[in-house]
């Protein structure tokens, strides 16, 4: 959702202030979703010897670390709402969004694949 809000801003369909405000409201649900992913994974008795399970665990760790740094990025963007953010922040945001998408979809795909096999 945070990536979608930023895409709306990049497309000129919202202001940066609206996108940043929306992202700040999403931090709690994103953390709950991440916690749910971790807790549900623990109850599913993962095969820790499996390469795909270990890959999923690395993806979740990266997702968590990315979320922590995204909080810092969000604060910095909040100070730029009245002007165009520096390219450095925009690139940081693009990298953060890419990492987020790769980790979420990768973890979901591995979980689905493990459930089928």
Domain ranges of the chain: 27-116
Name which residue leads in pLDDT, 62 or 5: 62
pLDDT at 82 over 80: no
Dihedral Cα 81, 83, 89, 93, nearest 10 deg: 50
Give the pLDDT band (50/70/90) at residue 109: very high
pLDDT at 65 over 90: yes
Token pair in block for residue 114: 């493990």
Record the pTM. 0.76
Mean pLDDT of 54-65: 91
Query: In sequence order, what are the residues at sequence separation of 6 or more whose Cβ sits closer than 8 angstroms to the Cβ of residue 53?
Result: 46, 47, 110, 114
Q: Report the distance separating Cα 92 and Cα 84, nearest Å.
A: 14
pLDDT at 42 over 90: no
80 close to 16: Cβ distance less than 8 angstroms: yes
């Amino acid at each position: 959702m945070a990536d979608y809000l930023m895409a709306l801003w990049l497309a000129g369909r919202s202001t940066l202030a609206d996108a940043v405000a929306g992202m700040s409201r999403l931090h709690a649900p994103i953390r709950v979703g991440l916690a749910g992913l971790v807790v549900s994974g623990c109850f599913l008795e993962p095969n820790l010897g499996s390469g795909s399970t270990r890959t999923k665990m690395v993806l979740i760790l990266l997702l968590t670390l990315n979320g922590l740094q995204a909080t810092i990025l969000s604060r910095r963007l909040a100070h730029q709402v009245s002007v165009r953010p520096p390219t450095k922040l925009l690139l940081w945001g693009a990298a953060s969004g890419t990492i987020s998408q790769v980790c979420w979809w990768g973890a979901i795909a591995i979980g689905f694949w493990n459930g089928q096999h």
